Structures are given as structure tokens and as C-alpha cells.
């Protein structure tokens, strides 16, 4: 049945989107959205959903409110399920109630899905509780967007000044000097603690604490701008003690992830958990082979091999897809032993019912060779399902040791045709601190898009982080030394190494 859902998207942290809002986005025919602090929410939408931007940012109205109302009515009367996605909460300075009234008057069914308002979330991430038994037992939410030149104010400044409530002003940075003056003129002491929180809960989160008398001057000196919340009250005294989000080592630092889009999510998640602003710039993409007949034939003949060595999770996925096409499962391996080059590959095998018989201590081909030689691989038949183009160290060394090696391409990697201008602009503006590389092919294809002489303009402000020594050597051929090299050759180790490097820089600067 047609219906309009008024959804609160929350303040920006994707983890604060409600489960119900996500479920609506996954099923809606039409998604109408405002300017959002995090556009990743749109990834939940159906591939065939109609997605319409009607946002309002800094006075720039893509579509006036009355036309937004009419759009919602029209789409619902076309028989569509409409998700109206709004930042924060629809009913907290979000004009959601006005939209609900228009829908009601037009006879359109609607439902409200509340969102986490920035008024609560942003201060909490800055270490500021809005209420506390020792400081404040009430809180007031106030618009800070009033025109300071108009004859009168909708606010009772005397009542606000007298109140022991915590005061939270939305959109108050532009009028911050007037807000502070009005409160002090009405009797609020200039020594009252105050704080600004900008881009609260996102990777761009910043906060600034001062007293009411100096907050405007300090905000100007620190370059605070919209979107920011102003918090006034004794609870601000707890900020330094309860701050937790701002301790994340990568907070506010841009990190470019060059891994393929299919694989990037794990690294992005780990970096974002430490506060990073991730820029996905996949240098390679995973592609199926044009002819998978050799792979399917090898799947049927698995029992004829003594060892099957997988060098990536992608290889596991592609090979098992061929097995499934042949109606086979893990039993097809028979007595063959199975090796994995690293923990991610071993986990991919485990997810398909295979426990790796061999996992090297170091996750590179050289270590695999050493381990297999110690296990008597000489004279054995070895199958290596891998990428179409890959290092030849593993098959060559095993063959030299007397193994009968069959290299089986099961997938291809190819460069991604992506415009680098967004990444270059972010580098020019100082938003990016690290570029991560997880393989030699990501290095080669990155510099195919951004030539070394161009990238050199941004170093050392932009540092390179690599997953291991092989990738580091490839990077060095382009004239760059990595600032960060993972201790273990895994994605989690790379994320940890980048975070440690950023933490050391922060500690050295403090």
C-alpha cells in the first residue's frame, strides 16, 4: 500500500541509523532526501529505487518546502512507498510535522520513524551529558537561526538566562555573538561554561569549550563554522573528563583506500572505527574470467591433487563458484590437503566447510614455500587457484623443489576507470593524510591514475601505508618510501599500523 515514511537519519554516524529506518530504505520505491551528514545511508536503497535530492544547505534550497510537500503527495498517489529521509530527527527542527500535515490533508497515509537528534548525540560524543544530577535536571532545545536585526525575538532570554537547564542551540554559529550577548544581558554569568560541537558524531567531529563571555571570539579564532551546536550550562565542565570520541587516533584524518570495491569494506570499517574519513578510490576491480571451463574441469578433478593452495579470499570465492556450478561441495577435495596464504583466505575457506591444513607464519609466497617444503611437497601434485596475473614466486619455487605445479587462473584483476579529481581536490585542501596500498597491483594502478610527479606535490603531508614488504618494494620503484608498513601482512594489521602512526604524531605534537 502507498505510504510516506518520515525517517530520521540521525546525526551522521552510520551506526546511529535505526534498524527500522534501514528496513524502510531497503524496501521503498522512492527515496526523497535532504542534505545528509552521511550519504552512505543511500547504499541501503533498492537498486531500482528512485532517489531524489531535495536538500537545503546554507540557505541553498534545491527545492522549496511547498514543492517538497507536493512531491511527497504526488509520489504516494502514484501508488509508491516513499521514504522521506531527513538528517537528525524529523520532528526536531526538521519541518517533519509540516510535511505530515500536508500528507494528512491530502489523504496520504504516513508514518514517522524517529531519528537520533544531533542535540543529544553530538554533545555525547564530545563528552558532554545534557543532564547530570549534580549540574542540570532539564534541557532546552532552541533554534539559533533567528535574524538578529528583527524587531523582536521569539525567545524569552530572561527565562533562558534564569533557568538551570542545559541550553542547546541549533544552527547557532552564525549568530553566536548575539546569542552570548542576549544571555549575558539577561543575567546569565559570562563565566558560564559553553561549548561548540561541529560535525558531531562524524569523522570531521570537533569541539571547543570556553566560557560564555569568550566562546564567540574563540570560535572565530578556531575557524568554527556550520554545522555546529552550541551547548551552554554547567554540564560542559564534564567534557574533558568524559571525552571519548575525540581520543580516536585517526579522527579528522582522511585515508584513501585503493583496495578493490569488493574488498574495501573491511579496511574502511577498521579505519572508520579509529575515526578516519575514508575516501574509496579502488585501483583495481575483481572480474570473472571470460571462460571458466578450465576452472570447472579442475573442480571435477580435485581428488587428483595432493595439495590445493589458495592465495586469496577472491580465489576461494571464484573456485567455489565453479564447484557449485558443477554440483560439487567441500567433499570434492577428497584426500587433498588445503593451504591458505593468510588468515582472510583461511576464513573464506572455513566459511565453506574447509579447515586449512597449512597457514604460514608470514603471509607471503616465500613463507608458503618454506612451510610446504618442510611438509614434503616435493614430488606432490599441487594446484594453485589464483588471479590471472600474480607473482610467480610460489609456483616457481615449488616447481624447483620438485613439485608438479598447476597454476589455475580463477579470476582477473583489472584497473578501474575512475576520475581521480575528487581525491586530488581532497589532497589539495589538506583533507587526506594517508594513502593505503594492499598489493603491488593497487600501487601500479594508483599511479596510472595519479602520476608520481603529481603525487609528489602532496608529500610528505600525504603519507603512504603498505601491507607488507613486497608492496613497499613496488612503491619504491615509483620513488616513494612508505611511512607505514604493517607488521603482519593483513588488512587488520595495516589498519592498526596506520592508527599507531597517527597516534604517535598526535602525541609528539601535544
Residues with catalytic function: 34, 56
Which residue from 395, 442, 389, 451 is spatially nearest to 420, judged by alpha carbons? 451
Which residue from 312, 285, 310 is spatially nearest to 298, judged by alpha carbons? 310
Which residue from 116, 118, 113 is spatially nearest to 96, judged by alpha carbons? 113
Q: What is the CA radius of gyration of the chain?
A: 28
Residue 193 CA, chain-centre distance (Å), reads: 33
Per DSSP, the residues of 7-71 read: EE-BSS-GGGS-HHHHHHHHH-SEEEE---S-GGGGGGS-TT-EEEE--EETTEESS-HHHHHHH
User: How many Cβ atoms from other residues are within 10 Å of residue 377's Cβ?
Assistant: 25
User: How many Cβ atoms from other residues are within 10 Å of residue 324's Cβ?
Assistant: 12
Spell out the residues 6+ positions from residue 441 whose beta carbon is closer than 8 angstroms to its own. 283, 284, 389, 413
Contact by Cβ (8 Å): 194, 217: no
Q: Which helix (H) or strand (E) holds 437?
A: strand 432-437
**Helix boundaries (H) for 94-214:** 96-105, 118-125, 157-162, 176-185
Spell out the residues 6+ positions from residue 496 whose beta carbon is closer than 8 angstroms to its own. 270, 486
Distance CA 203, CA 334 (A): 49
User: How many Cβ atoms from other residues are within 10 Å of residue 164's Cβ?
Assistant: 10
Distance CA 445, CA 464 (A): 15
User: How many Cβ atoms from other residues are within 10 Å of residue 325's Cβ?
Assistant: 12
Neighbouring-strand partners of residue 277? 254
Q: What angle do CA 133, 139, 140 make, to 5 degrees?
A: 165
Neighbouring-strand partners of residue 280? 257
Distance CA 53, CA 68 (A): 10
Amino acid at each position: 500500500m502507498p505510504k510516506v515514511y518520515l525517517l530520521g537519519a540521525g546525526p551522521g554516524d552510520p551506526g546511529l541509523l535505526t534498524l527500522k529506518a534501514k528496513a524502510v530504505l531497503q524496501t521503498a520505491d522512492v527515496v526523497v532526501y535532504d542534505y545528509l551528514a552521511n550519504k552512505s545511508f543511500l547504499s541501503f536503497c533498492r537498486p531500482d529505487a528512485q532517489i531524489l535530492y531535495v536538500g537545503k544547505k546554507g540557505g541553498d534550497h534545491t527545492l522549496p518546502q511547498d514543492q517538497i510537500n507536493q512531491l511527497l503527495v504526488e509520489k504516494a498517489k502514484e501508488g509508491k512507498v516513499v521514504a522521506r529521509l531527513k538528517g537528525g530527527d524529523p520532528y526536531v527542527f526538521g519541518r517533519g510535522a509540516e510535511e505530515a500535515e500536508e500528507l494528512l490533508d491530502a489523504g496520504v497515509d504516513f508514518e514517522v520513524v524517529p531519528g537520533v537528534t544531533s542535540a543529544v548525540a553530538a554533545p555525547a560524543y564530545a563528552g558532554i551529558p545534557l543532564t547530570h544530577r549534580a549540574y542540570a535536571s532539564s534541557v532546552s532545545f532552541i533554534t539559533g537561526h533567528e535574524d538578529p536585526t528583527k524587531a523582536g525575538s521569539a525567545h524569552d532570554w530572561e527565562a533562558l538566562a534564569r533557568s538551570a537547564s542545559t541550553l542547546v542551540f541549533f544552527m547557532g554559529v552564525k549568530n553566536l555573538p548575539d546569542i552570548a550577548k542576549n544571555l549575558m544581558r539577561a543575567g546569565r554569568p559570562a563565566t558560564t561554561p559553553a561549548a561548540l560541537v561541529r560535525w558531531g558524531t562524524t569523522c570531521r567531529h570537533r569541539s571547543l569549550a570556553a566560557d560564555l563571555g569568550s566562546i564567540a571570539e574563540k570560535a572565530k579564532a578556531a575557524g568554527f563554522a556550520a554545522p555546529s551546536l552550541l551547548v551552554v550550562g554547567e554540564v560542559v565542565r564534564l567534557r574533558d573528563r568524559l571525552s571519548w570520541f575525540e581520543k580516536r587516533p585517526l579522527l579528522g584524518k582522511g585515508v584513501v583506500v585503493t583496495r578493490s570495491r569488493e574488498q574495501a569494506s573491511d579496511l574502511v570499517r577498521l579505519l572508520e572505527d579509529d575515526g578516519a574519513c575514508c575516501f574509496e578510490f579502488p585501483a583495481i576491480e575483481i572480474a570473472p574470467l571470460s571462460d571458466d571451463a578450465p576452472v570447472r574441469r579442475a573442480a571435477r578433478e580435485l581428488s587428483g591433487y595432493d595439495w590445493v593452495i589458495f592465495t586469496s579470499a577472491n580465489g576461494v570465492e571464484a573456485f567455489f563458484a565453479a564447484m557449485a556450478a558443477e554440483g560439487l561441495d567441500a567433499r570434492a577435495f577428497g584426500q587433498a590437503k588445503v593451504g591458505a596464504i593468510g588468515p582472510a583466505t583461511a576464513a573464506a575457506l572455513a566459511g565453506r566447510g574447509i579447515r586449512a591444513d597449512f597457514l604460514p607464519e608470514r603471509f607471503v609466497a616465500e613463507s608458503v614455500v618454506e612451510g610446504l617444503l618442510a611438509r614434503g611437497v616435493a614430488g606432490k601434485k599441487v594446484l594453485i587457484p589464483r588471479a590471472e596475473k600474480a607473482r610467480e614466486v610460489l609456483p616457481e619455487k615449488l616447481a624447483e623443489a620438485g613439485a608438479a605445479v598447476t597454476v589455475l587462473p580463477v579470476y582477473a584483476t583489472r584497473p578501474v576507470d575512475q576520475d581521480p579529481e575528487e581525491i586530488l581536490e581532497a589532497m589539495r585542501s589538506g583533507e587526506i593524510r594517508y594513502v593505503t596500498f594492499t598489493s603491488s597491483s593497487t600501487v601500479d594502478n594508483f599511479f596510472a591514475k595519479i602520476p608520481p610527479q603529481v603525487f609528489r606535490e602532496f608529500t610528505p603531508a600525504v603519507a603512504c601505508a603498505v601491507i607488507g614488504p613486497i608492496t613497499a618494494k613496488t612503491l619504491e620503484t615509483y620513488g616513494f618510501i612508505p611511512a607505514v608498513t604493517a607488521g603482519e601482512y593483513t588488512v587488520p594489521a595495516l589498519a592498526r599500523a596506520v592508527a599507531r602512526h597517527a597516534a604517535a604524531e598526535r602525541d609528539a605534537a601535544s
